[in-house]
Structure 1
Amino acid sequence: MTDAAHDLARRLGRQAEAVCRHYLSAGRRQGHYWQVGDVRNSPGRSMFVRLTDSTKGPAGKWTDAATGEHGDLLDVIRESRGLPHFSDVVAEAEAFLRLPRSWQVAEAPVFRTNGPSRDPVTSACRLFAAAQPITGTIVETYLRKRGITALHETGSLRFHPLCYYRLDPREPIQPLPAMIAAVTDLRGRIMGIHRTWLAPDGSDKAAIATPRRAMGHLLEHAVRFGRVDDVMAAGEGIETILSLRGVLPSLPTAAALSAAHLSAIAFPPGLRRLYIVRDTDPAGNRARDSLIARANSTGIEAIVLSPTLGDFNEDLRAFGVDALRARLRCQLAPEDVVRFSVTSP
């Protein structure tokens, strides 16, 4: 980077919080850092931007603990705005700082974000490839502890014995066992991954601040179980969806990982009926209403499946398989009761 570009990065660093509020609006301030999902302004908490100068480095420097990427506020502007040329980055930065256009800086060469990979999809694919099938691992133990015993068609789930975790760039990286879930598009291509860090014996999630994190391009995509024909079910959490498959073993399902992503999930071609697996909270209600409206606008029948408690995994653990089966029977379209193998208690 040229001296002029370094000067521009330093100027941005003096207004680091204002830069973050403008270009990383999905995040929020946490002490002396701005915390967000990644440099492309995804929701989350794995990226930290230093807001003040310190012995650890100048304001504006950032690290993504999930991917190992790091850089400065010029990188933030480039990635959050999707600017392909350095001249565009400079023009955007100077406009933000209300500086006259510096043509000498604008002609500087394109630079790259530091770290093993700028592309979160590449990082996601690499992590999923390094993991192993869940059979005989503590992922199986963890899911069975949650009452989930139907583990057919779970190729989208894998186990990684030493998946890196770090909440804060000031802390050391912890290698912890984790369940890795592939987030795919409608063609089956990996677009991201979801990590659930686990206790060493699989008895519960790991005792860390944020045991669940996603990485990659999640919008419209999901963790998928089964092949969709004309009917499918979609919900938020992996465990919620796997609980449903315990009594609807042949129903294709998708876990969108959050209420916001559920409301935006893509519909497969030829989909005729969509079961919306609802979580009973305000965010779940908003996702339900949005998804019903989207489905109806495209001629897809939308049917809501509602749990007694907060979600279907809570129901499964509290009431058992038979009670969950009975509750679902009366919510399904009659032809789907037989089709998806729901049997009488």
Structure 2
Amino acid sequence: MERPAAALSRGLAEQVEAVCKHYLSNGCRSGNYWTVGDVNNHAGRSLYVRLKGPLSGKGARGNWVDSATSQYGDLLDLIAARENLRSFRETLNEARRFLKQPRIEPPTRSNERFSDRDTIATARRIWAASRPIQGTPAEAYLRARKITADLDVTSLRYHPALFYRECPGASSRKLPALIAVVTNHRGEITGMHRTFLDPTRNDKASVPTPRRSLGAILGNGVRFGIIDDVVLVGEGIETVLSLKSALPYLPIVAALSAGHLAAWEFPPGLRRLIVACDNDAAGWRAARRLSERAEVLGIGATTITSLRSDFNSDLRGMSSEGFQRRLAAMLGSDLRTGNIEKNK
């Protein structure tokens, strides 16, 4: 017989979007997720709740994580945190109360509800419709951020007119975008990352969420270089390309967020991991979690932390020589040859 807590958790998962609309009303749907600032229902995009998947187990709908605080759990945990409930019994009672409420779901257009397979297929279609980055506003945007890394890579492209909509139901418009392809360790496309660009200047678009991901991102990443036994992993595209500018011989991966950094999957044969940590609480927690996971598997882990908010801020705020000297001091490496000490 199913335990009461498991039955309630399953019932909440069956109504996951209604749960989100009730307890996290300041959020909105974004692809397969409901995004909001935190468990206290502040506006933002740090916390995301899975809207698609099985009713239980790995990847279940209703599972959530806050990349800023590293909090996570299922919908019972979310209700307990949101309502500041003091006991498990109170949490179960609140779940029972919610599930008995009549709920009227607004009609949803079929193209607003995607399965994982649908979002991956959409990501692949957008990638196929994009063009090489060389000579485009996407390249100009990266160069304006002092990134000198070789951009003749297979992981970046440019789309001149990609639809941008803040939330389902809102009006949309077309914006140029830097496109980065997300792949797994087998080289299969599992998703993509979009940085919407300003049409008139070399900067991000002046919209609430200029950076967005689509598809299966968790455990995967945007790859620059072929991973052998050493890899550097960071959060954002600009961060890892800043490091690639100083470390051209080192394979580097962008996990795309703090939460995804902590959950990045290690490839077979990896011996040394370098974690590029953004200088904030979410970055520190994610770096620590990833390093702990690596060390359990016998993978040597080193963390480097930016002086400013991230490594692109460092690159833009100091000379190229100063940036390289600081990295060399942290890594114990010869940046001219790419000879990273594997036993450090």
TM-score in terms of structure 2 length: 0.70
Deviation readout 1:114-140 (Å, 9 max, x if unpaired): 229641000000011100010000011
Kindly report which structure 2 residues correspond to 1:232-271, keeping only aligned pairs within 5 A, or say none.
232-271=231-270
1:20 correspondence with 2:17:
yes
Note closer, same or farther for the CA distance 1:97–1:331 as it changes in structure 2 (3 Å cut). Answer: closer
Letter in 2 for 1:212: R
Deviation readout 1:18-59 (Å, 9 max, x if unpaired): 75354789x9313xxx51333x446579xxxxxxxxxxxxxx
Residue in 2 that maps onto 1:115 = 111
Between the aligned partners of 1:333 and 1:43, the Cα distance in structure 2 is 40
**Aligned 8 A contact 1:41 1:80 in 2:** no
Structure showing greater radius of gyration is 1
**Aligned 8 A contact 1:274 1:301 in 2:** yes
1:216 correspondence with 2:209:
no
% identity of equivalent residues: 42
Shift of the alpha carbon at 1:113?
7.8
Kindly report which structure 2 residues correspond to 1:27-42, keeping only aligned pairs within 5 A, or say none.
28-30=24-26, 35-38=28-31, 40-41=32-33
Note closer, same or farther for the CA distance 1:24–1:270 as it changes in structure 2 (3 Å cut). Answer: farther
Deviation readout 1:286-332 (Å, 9 max, x if unpaired): 01110111010000000111222111100100002111100011111
Note closer, same or farther for the CA distance 1:202–1:183 as it changes in structure 2 (3 Å cut). Answer: farther
**Aligned 8 A contact 2:246 2:335 in 1:** no
Letter in 2 for 1:340: G
Residue in 1 that maps onto 2:273 = 274
Give the alignment partner of residue 81 of structure 1, picking from 34, 54, 58. Answer: 54
Taking only aligned residues, the RMSD between alpha carbons, in angstroms, comes to 3.0
Between the aligned partners of 1:24 and 1:299, the Cα distance in structure 2 is 43
Residue in 1 that maps onto 2:89 = none
Note closer, same or farther for the CA distance 1:36–1:114 as it changes in structure 2 (3 Å cut). Answer: closer
Deviation readout 1:53-97 (Å, 9 max, x if unpaired): xxxxxxxxxxxxxxxxxxxxxxx98x44369xxxxxxxxxxxx85
Between the aligned partners of 1:295 and 1:24, the Cα distance in structure 2 is 37
Note closer, same or farther for the CA distance 1:82–1:179 as it changes in structure 2 (3 Å cut). Answer: farther
Note closer, same or farther for the CA distance 1:253–1:295 as it changes in structure 2 (3 Å cut). Answer: same
Instruction: Report the more deviating stretch, 254-263 or 164-173.
Output: 164-173
**Aligned 8 A contact 1:249 1:341 in 2:** no
**Aligned 8 A contact 2:29 2:167 in 1:** no
Note closer, same or farther for the CA distance 1:35–1:191 as it changes in structure 2 (3 Å cut). Answer: same
Shift of the alpha carbon at 1:173?
1.5
Kindly report which structure 2 residues correspond to 1:1-345, keeping only aligned pairs within 5 A, or say none.
20=17, 22=19, 28-30=24-26, 35-38=28-31, 40-41=32-33, 43=35, 79-81=52-54, 114-115=110-111, 118=115, 119-152=118-151, 154-334=153-333, 337=335, 339-340=337-338
Note closer, same or farther for the CA distance 1:333–1:271 as it changes in structure 2 (3 Å cut). Answer: farther
Between the aligned partners of 1:143 and 1:41, the Cα distance in structure 2 is 28
Note closer, same or farther for the CA distance 1:272–1:177 as it changes in structure 2 (3 Å cut). Answer: same
Residue in 2 that maps onto 1:70 = none
Runs of 4+, deviation exceeding 4 Å:
42-45, 96-99, 336-339
Note closer, same or farther for the CA distance 1:231–1:176 as it changes in structure 2 (3 Å cut). Answer: same
**Aligned 8 A contact 2:134 2:152 in 1:** no
Note closer, same or farther for the CA distance 1:121–1:171 as it changes in structure 2 (3 Å cut). Answer: same
Between the aligned partners of 2:55 and 2:191, the Cα distance in structure 1 is 18
**Aligned 8 A contact 1:247 1:341 in 2:** no
Letter in 2 for 1:159: Y
Unaligned runs of 5+ in 1: 1-14, 46-75, 84-95, 100-111
Note closer, same or farther for the CA distance 1:291–1:97 as it changes in structure 2 (3 Å cut). Answer: closer
Shift of the alpha carbon at 1:168?
3.2
Instruction: Report the more deviating stretch, 240-249 or 164-173.
Output: 164-173
Letter in 2 for 1:254: V
Letter in 2 for 1:264: A
TM-score in terms of structure 1 length: 0.70
Between the aligned partners of 2:36 and 2:161, the Cα distance in structure 1 is 21
Shift of the alpha carbon at 1:268?
1.1
